Amino acid sequence: MQQVLIQLRGVSKTFDGVNTVLAPTDLSVDRGDFISLIGPSGCGKTTLLKLVAGLIKPTSGTIDIVNADVSSTGRLAYVFQDSTLLPWLTVRDNVGLPLRIAGEDRAIRMAAVDATLALVGLSHAAGQYPRELSGGMKMRVSIARALTLDPQLLLLDEPFGALDEMSRDRLNEELLRLREASRWTAMFVTHSVAEAVFLSSRVVVLAPSPGRIATTIPIPLTYPRTSVTRSSADFAELVLEVTRALHAAQNSSVDAGSGDAR
């Protein structure tokens, strides 16, 4: 019933011929999935995301993005660790940048940008420059920029890592609310177990040295999820389960002699 969107087969990445950051990895992501990638530093989370985005080429293996639409311009969007807004552009022009690159004309661009800004509640900040915004607002602009192209696949690399917990929780809820509207598929890198459980339909736990998938934990909590979800017993149990898996993964590095990466 579920339609596969991304299929990774034996994908690995070795830098400079010696430094293997990702051992051969299989992963399939269904359309509408919200996948979180969690794991200790150096387990290849960001590498995995950049491989899917096509920013780096795999050393071996294949990455298929099933719907041809996604690989063509605009159907894939990326949210970076820091907001990566261009400081010389206003919020409006930053959000409109992907459309400008895609060659959309000004009128269409402005209409789409205004709609997206309204969606994330930033209409009042349209004329401001990034330096005038708080960290949380910058991140919202960054997400708005990713959403202007109406993407099918959204790749997010620890977007809220630098924010305080309150802002992070609020933005998590907002992210899910935005997803209700258009149901994009998401791959989300994070260090926070609670964030991963709250957002995801599946949490992929990675292990280090070399980076590889240790285990995948489905999160059967129903959407829409709200702040109430966080106080449920099921939520607490899932957080515990992922935390245990994470600790197990951390101690299972190949260097420590616990067997094959596959």
Partner 1 sequence: MSIWTRIGWPLVFGLLLLAGWYGAITLFEIPEYQLPPLHRIVQAGYEEREMLMAGSIQTTMACLIGFFTSIAGGVMLSIMLASSERAYRGAYPYILLMKMTPIIVIAPIIIIWAGQGLASITVITFLICFFPIVANTTMGLRSTDSNHLDLFAVYKANRWQQLLWLRAPAAMPYFMTGLKIAAALTPIGALYGDTVAGMGASNEAGLGFVVMIFNSQFKIPALFAAAIVSCAIGFLFVGMVNLVSWLALRRWHESYLIDHHA
Q: Which residues make up the interface to partner 1 (CB under 8 A)?
A: 50, 53-55, 73-74, 76-78, 80-82, 84, 86-88, 97-98, 100-102, 129-131, 149
Taking the complex as a whole, the smallest distance from the CB of residue 6 to partner 1 amounts, in Å, to 15
Taking the complex as a whole, the smallest distance from the CB of residue 111 to partner 1 amounts, in Å, to 19
Estimate the share of the chain in helix, then strand, then coil, as percent rounded to the nearest 5. Answer: 40, 25, 35
127, 90 in Cβ contact below 8 A? yes
Give φ, ψ of 36 to 5 degrees. Answer: -105, 140
Taking the complex as a whole, the smallest distance from the CB of residue 78 to partner 1 amounts, in Å, to 4
| 130/210 with CB nearer partner 1 | 130
| 4/97 with CB nearer partner 1 | 97
User: Assign residue 231 a region: left if phi > 0, alpha if psi is -120 to 50, beta otherwise?
Assistant: alpha
Closest CA to 123 of 91, 159, 86, 93: 91
Largest CA distance in the chain: 60
| 2/134 with CB nearer partner 1 | 134
| 149/204 with CB nearer partner 1 | 149
Taking the complex as a whole, the smallest distance from the CB of residue 224 to partner 1 amounts, in Å, to 28
| 153/214 with CB nearer partner 1 | 153
3: which 2 tokens?
A: 């339609």
Angle between helices 91-101 and 106-119 (to 10 degrees): 130
Taking the complex as a whole, the smallest distance from the CB of residue 191 to partner 1 amounts, in Å, to 18
| 103/220 with CB nearer partner 1 | 103
Query: What's the CA gap between 61 and 183, in Å, rounded?
Result: 28
Taking the complex as a whole, the smallest distance from the CB of residue 155 to partner 1 amounts, in Å, to 8
DSSP string, 21-57: EEEEEEEEEETT-EEEEE-STTSSHHHHHHHHHTSS-
